[in-house]
Each structure stands twice: as C-alpha cells, then as structure tokens.
C-alpha cells in the first residue's frame, strides 16, 4: 500500500519502520509546520510533503494520522470525505462528539476508518485471551495495570497543554483501559477516579477503579509525572497472568499455584505491523471497519474517558464547543 502520513512526531518512526518492513511505501507526509514536514520527508526518503492533505492524498491507498489529539477529527474527516481510508492514532478524537463526526464521515463516504490502538492486535493477546477462555486461571476477577513516565513539565508541550488535550488519560491511560476491555469484553457498570491536576488543569496522574459484571474489578493508573511500574496482572479465581510492558507486550507468564508457564510471541518488526496488516486485510475484503477495533469499541472507549474526565474535572476546548452546539 502507498501511505500518506499526517504528522511527524516520534511515533511516526515506528510506523514507517513497520510499514516499510511489510513492503509498503510512504509517499507523502503532511503537517502544519511546512519546514518540519520538509525536513522529516528528506530525512525519511519521502517524496512529497506539505500542508494540503487533499493534494498530498492524490494516488495514496491509505493515510495514517499521528498529529496531536486535537487535530485528529478535522484531518480524518478531510480524508474520509475524499474516500481515503484512515488509520488514526489513539485516542480516535478528544471526545465522543468528535468521534461521532468521524464515524459519520466514514459512513457517508463508505470509507474505512480504524483507531490505531496497536495493543489490540498484538499476537500475545491471542494467547492471553485463549488461556483465559480455556479456564487456565478461572474466571478473571481483577485487572491491575499502570502506565506512566516522568515527563519534564512544560505547559506548552503536547503532554501538558490543555489546548492540545494534554494529560495522562488520553495519552497513556487509554492503554490500561483497553487492557481491561480486552479481558472483560464489556463496559464497566461503575467506576471511581481520582487525579492530580497540573496548574493548567490537565491530569498529571490518574487512578481509576472500575467494576464490571460479576463484581470483577480493574485498578488502573496513568501518569505523565511519575514513572509507574508499567506492567499488568490479570488475577483469576485459580491463577493469574502477568504481562510485562503490557501495551507493547511480547511475553506473558501464566501462574497456577506454584507452577509458572512463559508464553513468548515476539514482534515480527516492532509491533506496529499488526494493525497495518489488519487494515490491509479489511480493505482487501471491502470492509469499512475492523472487527478487532470496531467503531462501537472506539466510541465506547471515548465515552468512558469523557466520563472519567468529568469526574476528575478535566475539560478541553472541544468540550466547550460541544456544549455550545458547535
């Protein structure tokens, strides 16, 4: 496939490595900073660069959007309305209203759209979920996961700037929430969250407890001001599964009493390849959404994060626009 990349941050290096490793081409890069986009294109051997997404999308098979969260909705809608299939970084947008706009654009143009939640595609989770279905740990009753790093405070940076929908929840908190969703495959019945807020009002550190069906629990944490343990454990009635670096996992440990079994599923390239393969598969079959990351799944996740933000008191400009009917 021939790809347009929208955005030129650090994460795009992983995407380029995976796409080229699969034999795909990166033919254009778009960004608001024309100089940075040009430098990025030259550095990575990309033919075209610029700001006009409609021009850059000529002749491409798909687009990968990796801009700040606040630019996902408009960028995706521009491309979807032209009929360009879109793989858009997580979170799909800032709030549920923006996600709905993106889904409507995909429906109206009959064009593929998928949230780039790469964790859902990792081969290790086929093993983890398969082990749970076989009853190796009994019924899961607790998912405990955290993901956090200590980023230098800079109120103008993407992570800390409320104008760019900064904070830990949308950036990394979505990963432990996704893990709980993968294991329980259901929306929580209730939740309670607490947060440490920055001076500008974004969530620096969030702790969330969620209750699912049959009184199963998830205790999840995310941070951009703390280096957390960055691991996960799934505890069942008769065993547990430990997953180091769960968001990019290549191995897991199943514990049953005193016995421990290691499962290894190393990445073929860097882990990003599986979502690219899934999109390629869906397009070849004429699908406009992926069963692995369905539109319903993305909408449900953003609605949950909207509710968590409401509880901890974090709001963004996009929320104000929604409340004002924009």
Q: What is the pLDDT of residues 235-266, one digit of tens each?
A: 999 999 999 999 999 999 999 999 999 999 99
Distance CA 13, CA 28 (A): 14
Can you point out the beta strands (E) in 167-309? 190-197, 203-211, 217-223, 231-236, 240-244, 251-256, 259-264
Domain identity same for 287 and 221: no
DSSP 202: -
Give the chain's mean pLDDT.
Answer: 96
Q: What is the CATH number of the domain that holds 51?
A: 3.40.50.720
SS3 10: coil
Domain boundary among 226, 241, 264: 264
Task: Determine the structural domain holding residue 154 and report its residue range.
Answer: 123-264
Q: Are residues 171 and 288 in the same domain?
A: no
Q: For the domain that residue 254 is a member of, what is the CATH number?
A: 3.30.360.10
User: 179 and 257 in one domain?
Assistant: yes
pTM: 0.96
Q: Determine which helix (DSSP H) or strand (DSSP E) holds 288, and give its type and residue range.
A: none
Which residue numbers in the chain have pLDDT < 70?
322-326
Number of domains making up the chain: 2
Is there a single domain that holds both residue 167 and residue 278? no
Angstrom distance (rounded) from CA 58 to CA 47: 13
Q: Say whether both 28 and 56 belong to one domain.
A: yes
| The predicted structure's pLDDT at residue 32 | 87
| pLDDT of amino acid 324 | 61
Q: Which helix (H) or strand (E) covers residue 108, if one does?
A: helix 96-109
Name every residue whose Cβ is closer than 8 Å to that of residue 285 and which is 6 or more positions away in sequence.
none
At 85, is the secondary structure helix, strand, or coil? coil
Side-by-side strand order, sheet with 113-116: 48-50, 25-30, 2-6, 62-65, 86-89, 113-116
Check whether residue 151 and residue 243 sit in a common domain. Answer: yes
Q: Please indicate, yes or no, whether residues 106 and 149 belong to a single structural domain of this protein.
A: no
Do 140 and 253 lie in one domain? The reply is yes
Q: Which of 223, 243, 264 is the last residue of a domain?
A: 264
The answer on 93 and 205 residing in a single domain is no
The verdict on 307 and 287 lying in the same domain is yes
* C-alpha span between 184 and 304 (Å, rounded): 15
Per-residue pLDDT, 323: 62
Looking at the fold, whether 157 and 87 belong to one and the same domain comes out as: no
Residue corresponding to tokens 């994060």: 305
| Per-residue model confidence (pLDDT) at position 321 | 73
User: How do 203-211 and 113-116 pair as beta strands?
Assistant: unpaired
CA distance 94 to 70: 6
């Amino acid at each position: 496939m021939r790809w347009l990349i929208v955005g030129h941050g650090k994460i795009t290096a992983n995407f380029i490595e995976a796409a080229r490793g699969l034999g795909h081409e990166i033919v254009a890069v778009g960004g608001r900073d024309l100089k940075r986009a040009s430098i990025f294109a030259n550095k990575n051997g990309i033919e075209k660069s610029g700001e006009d997404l409609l021009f850059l999308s000529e002749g491409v098979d798909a687009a990968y959007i990796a801009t700040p969260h606040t630019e996902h909705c408009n960028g995706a809608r521009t491309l979807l309305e032209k009929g360009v299939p879109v793989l858009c970084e997580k979170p799909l947008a800032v709030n549920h209203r923006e996600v709905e706009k993106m889904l409507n654009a995909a429906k109206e143009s009959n064009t593929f759209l998928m949230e780039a939640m790469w964790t859902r595609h990792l081969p290790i989770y086929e093993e983890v979920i398969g082990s749970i279905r076989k009853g190796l740990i009994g019924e899961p009753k607790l998912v405990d996961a955290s993901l956090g790093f200590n980023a230098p405070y800079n109120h103008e940076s993407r992570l800390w700037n409320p104008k760019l929908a900064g904070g830990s929840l949308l950036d990394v908190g979505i990963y432990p929430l996704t893990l709980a969703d993968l294991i329980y495959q259901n929306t929580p019945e209730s939740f309670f969250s607490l947060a440490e807020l920055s001076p500008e009002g974004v969530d620096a550190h969030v702790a969330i407890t969620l209750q699912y069906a049959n009184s199963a629990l998830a205790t999840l944490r995310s941070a951009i001001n703390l280096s957390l343990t960055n691991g996960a454990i799934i505890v069942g009635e008769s065993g547990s599964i430990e997953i180091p670096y769960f968001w990019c996992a290549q191995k897991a440990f199943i514990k049953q009493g005193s016995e421990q079994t290691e499962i290894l599923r190393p990445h073929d390239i860097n882990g990003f390849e599986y979502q690219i393969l899934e999109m390629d598969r869906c397009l070849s079959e004429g699908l406009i959404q992926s069963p692995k990351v369905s539109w319903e799944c993305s909408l449900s996740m953003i609605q949950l994060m909207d509710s968590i933000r409401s509880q901890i008191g974090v709001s963004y400009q996009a929320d104000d626009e929604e409340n004002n009917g924009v």
